[in-house]
Structure 1
Amino acid sequence: MDLEIFTRKMDSVIRRYRTIYDLLEFLAIALIILLIAVYFNLDEVFKLIPWTEPYVGLSPDIPLFTINYETIFLFFIVCLFSLLILEVIDRSRGRIYKLLKRTPPKRQKSQDLVEETYPELKDRLKTAYDNRDSDNFIAAELRTSVAQDIEGVASTDLIDKKRVAYSLGAIIVAGLFLTAIFFTGYTSSFSPGDVWDRFPNGSITQPPVDENTSSNNSSSIPTEAPPISSSPGVDIDVTLPPGAGMGPGDMLEGSESNFTPSQPYAPESLSSQHFYDTLPAGYEDVIKEYFKKLAENS
């Protein structure tokens, strides 16, 4: 096999494997965050947000599938946090290894991984690749022997089995706990509303009443009935007039009333006599003709 073709092939395989590693780690982190969110009922936080509260309990019209809006919001936030955590871990990988007092792994090239996996190719593969255009007899012999050895290289042997095992283990454990919560409904008694109640609810508090303000407004807005003053030797009538205490509610409850509905009358009988007394002679027909044409035009 040609060394240059083999190297390009291994580079493509390594890039594909690294993408799989990132996807597995993203899924593992997302399931762990989702497990925490479901166990502590964090989806109830959307009831406290004004622009998401109207959608709580509703679901979009999706054929053969039902999912609540709060679940969609929760998945979106979980994915966002998972991406952020994955990016922070990738940037801080060296610091994490230093805290654990371990040497961080280097980002190896495909040739380094092949030589590490197959000790018989140690230092021979890179040397042969670097001298692939050389006409030297020794370099030609090296290229020939290396080309025969790389025929037995399997791309599956280059997989980082520990990294895949850790990610799959986290995915399986988180998935099992989520399945148990789904079927049993067992969650924590904690609710985001418990924390929200400890903060001010935003209600408007009344300002303290100033003595001068209250005295100035007391004349315009009475707050209690005025007292009844009396003089010695003077009798005051405090009896209620007839019909007091009778309101519209008493009439609606079926109490009797002397009310007599009005009867229809001809419009001429209801006209004001003052209208005819002040109107000059001959203007009555003119006004009637005016309103008649006005009604026809409308």
Structure 2
Amino acid sequence: MALEIEKIVNKHESALKKYRGLYILADLLATFMVLYALFVLLNMRDIFLMFPTFEPYTGAKYGILGFEIVFETLGLIIIDFVLSLILTAIRYFRAEKKDAIALMEEKYPVLKERMRTAYDNRDTDNIIVRDLIGSVIIDSKPVKSSVFLNRKKLVKDVLLTVFAVACLAYVAYTGYQTTFSPTEMSGIIEDLPFSGSDSDLVSVEENGGTSADKQDNNELFGEPAVIVVEGKEVDLKIPPGAGQGFTSQEDANKTGESFIQSDMYNPEAIASQSYYENLPEGYRSVIQSYFEQLAEE
């Protein structure tokens, strides 16, 4: 009897797995068709025009199974299929999964608690367990695997698929197109606050700098600084192309400036009075006269 009850449970469990696979396929097909219909109505094929990478391929046609498919349509189908897989997988893993025993007890109240108890104790050999398993086997004979099929779910997926196909057929027959296009999103993004159009914000320049750097450079190379040397105004403005403003030692050695050597001393030079501070009081005049005689020679 233990083998017989295992056979009953395994048969319904196998049918339940087939039904779950059917649900997944129906969900995947319905999701794919609905998304594709939305993509077509919203002109999502234009999204490939927004990326320079796809520009060489736009408008190209590929032969698949005897049909010529435009690159934009093929790319849209691939994107739609990937999104449909992701959404279907999320729904499948989040859905509550009941085993065959739980569904049998739910559909047939006469087996409630008795079916699971008999299956869990199928390896126990006593008169009570044998009597329980025997009665459960008899009560489970009317159970059909078809009662586990969720027809409402399948009908909903079929209706969604038919509706999406009808929308696509209408668009193909009438050539209807909405006024929306993904290319309009770039203009909308530019109009958003803090999108970079504000002059107070720092923007990245093409050469890697920023608008803040440009503002600092304008201050550096703007109005020239002027100082007065011996009654003449000297312009200290650094021209933009002048480099760092310093000359290396190697470049300095290559320059051919000529210098005029001055005299050994300047007769008009006046000795500094600062050295007097460190001379002894009684020897200042003697030391001063000594150095003055040396200067005259």
Shorter-chain TM range is: 0.5 to 0.7
Residue 111 of structure 2 corresponds to residue 136 of structure 1: no
For residue 23 of structure 1, the aligned residue among 22, 25, 38 is 25
Partner of 1:167: 157
Show CA shifts across 1:7-35 (max 9, x none). Answer: 22222222222222122112222222111
- % identical aligned pairs: 29
Partner of 1:70: 72
For residue 141 of structure 2, the aligned residue among 147, 151, 155 is 151
Aligned AA (1:110): A
The gaps in structure 1 that reach 5 residues or longer are: 94-105, 218-298
Partner of 1:257: none
Change in Cα spacing, 1:158 to 1:122, as seen in structure 2 (3 Å) is same
Change in Cα spacing, 1:86 to 1:121, as seen in structure 2 (3 Å) is same
Q: How many residue pairs are counted as aligned between the two chains?
A: 204
Q: Could you tell me how far 1:85 is from its partner in structure 2?
A: 2.5
Residue 60 of structure 2 corresponds to residue 54 of structure 1: no
Counterpart CA distance in 2 for 1:63 and 1:167 is 27
Partner of 1:80: 82
Counterpart CA distance in 2 for 1:92 and 1:150 is 30
Counterpart CA distance in 2 for 1:169 and 1:50 is 39
Give the SS at the match of 1:191.
coil
Counterpart CA distance in 2 for 1:39 and 1:109 is 41
Change in Cα spacing, 1:25 to 1:211, as seen in structure 2 (3 Å) is same
Show CA shifts across 1:121-152 (max 9, x none). Answer: 22222222123223322322332232233333
Which protein, 1 or 2, shows the higher relative CO under an 8 Å CA cutoff with sep ≥ 6? 1
Counterpart CA distance in 1 for 2:64 and 2:24 is 30
The gaps in structure 2 that reach 5 residues or longer are: 191-203, 224-238, 241-297
Give the SS at the match of 1:67.
strand
Partner of 1:261: none
Instruction: Report the TM-score when normalising by structure 1.
Output: 0.59
Residue 27 of structure 2 corresponds to residue 10 of structure 1: no
Instruction: Report the TM-score when normalising by structure 2.
Output: 0.59
Counterpart CA distance in 1 for 2:14 and 2:138 is 21
